[in-house]
């Protein structure tokens, strides 16, 4: 299984963030935002303010067909695209954020934008910008099975191996999202091609669901950690600070996206400030789960 750190100073940022939160006996707080939402300037302001409360920032690449996302993130991605998002905005935002502080920066993109840009160039630019790692949730071999074969696959192998080679060469962590009802063998296989974090959904279905966390989630987290040897991030369905506190008791990282964006939607004239307030509330949630000192 892949548990060692890739040879990259940027990848080490995630390892350090996880080590800090582990020393505090809590999960690391990861906050997700599509780059360019609600505008380039307001989104970057929001990310800088969110960084004051987060251990990890996950920068999303807006896409026209975000198959795993619910209406909240779909709307945010569409707004960012309408505002003129370009891939250069991702690299510029990451460069600015990593230069400004110690918060680790990850990226999340569906496969198609990476394929169009060029996997090798994309990975190299991410690493140059200080990004620690990448989650590509719809790779056919490692995601939900919703992807399809492409010309790139035929020329250079599968999409997953194409990306893994590019990420390894650039020194990036490659995170994966476990599919529903994955067998032990499948989880072990995912662990062998994953580094940094492996992602577990807190609730079934699309992002942004507002329902109780699965009662089986603690067992699933322990199972994934045992079979892969990797830190486990819980996301997709963390909707309240109380749920963040609940998941922080057994996960290595808690990822929140739709809940922050939902608040930004409600206060469009103060999106950055509202994002900062939401980040603070979720940070208090993960810290609330820390066991009392003895």
Report the C-alpha gap between 127 and 31 in whole angstroms. 20
| Residue 3 and residue 188 in contact, taking contact as beta carbons nearer than 8 Å | no
- At 6 the pLDDT is 52
Q: How far apart are CA 166 and CA 40, in angstroms?
A: 28
What pairs with residue 133 in β-bridges? 106, 173
The domain of 115 spans: 9-288
Asked if the structure places residue 4 within a domain, the reply is: no
Separation CA 54–CA 255 (nearest Å): 10
Among residues 55, 69, 153, 252, the one annotated as catalytic is: 69
Which residue reads 């492996």 in tokens?
198
In a domain, 1, yes or no: no
* pLDDT score of 33: 98
| Residue 232 tokens, joined | 């486990």
Q: Which pLDDT belongs to residue 145?
A: 38
Half-sphere CA count of 17, side-chain side, radius 13 A: 34
Examine residue 3 and state whether it is found in any structural domain, yes or no: no
Q: What is the 3-state secondary structure (H, E, C) of 108-160?
A: ECCHHHHHHHCHHHHHHHHHHCCCCEEECCCCCCCCCCCCCCCHHHHHHCCHH
> In terms of C-beta density within 10 A (0-12 exposed, 13-18 middle, 19 or more buried), how is residue 263 classed?
middle
Query: How many structural domains is the chain composed of?
Result: 1
pLDDT value of residue 101: 79
**Residue 126, pLDDT score:** 97
In the chain, which residues have pLDDT < 70? 1-9, 140-157, 208, 289-294
Return the closest-CA partner of residue 61 out of 81, 42, 82, 41.
81
Predicted confidence at residue 291, as pLDDT, reads 52
163: CB partners within 8 A, 6+ apart = 111, 114, 119, 123, 134, 136, 139, 174
Q: Say if residue 195 is preceded by a cis peptide, omega within 30 of 0.
A: no
Question: What pLDDT, on the 0 to 100 scale, is given for residue 10?
Answer: 74
Spatial distance between the Cα atoms of 194 and 162, rounded to a whole number of angstroms: 14
pLDDT digits (tens, 9 = 90+) for 102-156: 799 999 999 999 999 999 999 999 999 999 999 999 876 544 433 344 444 333 3
For position 216, which CATH number holds? 3.20.20.70
55 belongs to the catalytic site: no
Residue 148 lies in a domain: yes
The reply to whether 145 falls in a domain is yes
């Amino acid at each position: 299984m892949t548990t060692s750190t890739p040879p990259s100073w940027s990848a080490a940022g995630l390892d350090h963030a996880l080590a800090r939160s582990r020393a505090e006996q809590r999960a690391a707080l990861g906050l997700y935002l599509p780059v360019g939402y609600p505008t380039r300037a307001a989104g970057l302001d929001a990310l800088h303010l969110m960084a004051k409360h987060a251990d990890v920032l996950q920068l999303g690449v807006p896409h026209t067909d975000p198959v795993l996302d619910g209406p909240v993130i779909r709307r945010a991605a569409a707004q960012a695209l309408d505002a003129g998002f370009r891939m250069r905005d991702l690299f510029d935002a990451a460069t600015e954020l990593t230069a400004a502080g110690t918060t680790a920066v990850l990226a999340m993109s569906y496969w198609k934008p990476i394929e169009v840009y060029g996997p090798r160039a994309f990975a190299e630019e991410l690493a140059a910008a200080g990004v620690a790692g990448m989650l590509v949730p719809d790779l056919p071999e490692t995601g939900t099975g919703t992807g399809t074969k492409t010309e790139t696959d035929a020329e250079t192998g599968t999409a997953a191996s194409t990306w893994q080679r590019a990420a390894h060469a650039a020194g990036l962590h490659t995170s994966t999202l476990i599919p529903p009802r994955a067998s032990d063998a499948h989880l072990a296989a995912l662990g062998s091609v994953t580094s940094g974090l492996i992602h577990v959904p807190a609730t079934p279905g699309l992002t942004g669901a507002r329902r109780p966390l699965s009662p089986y989630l603690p067992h699933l987290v322990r199972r994934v950690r045992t079979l892969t040897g990797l830190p486990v991030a819980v996301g997709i369905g963390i909707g309240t600070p109380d749920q963040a506190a609940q998941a922080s008791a057994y996960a290595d990282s808690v990822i929140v996206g739709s809940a922050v964006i939902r608040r930004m939607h409600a206060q469009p004239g103060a999106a950055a400030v509202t994002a900062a307030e939401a980040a603070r509330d979720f940070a208090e949630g993960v810290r609330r789960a820390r066991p009392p000192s003895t």
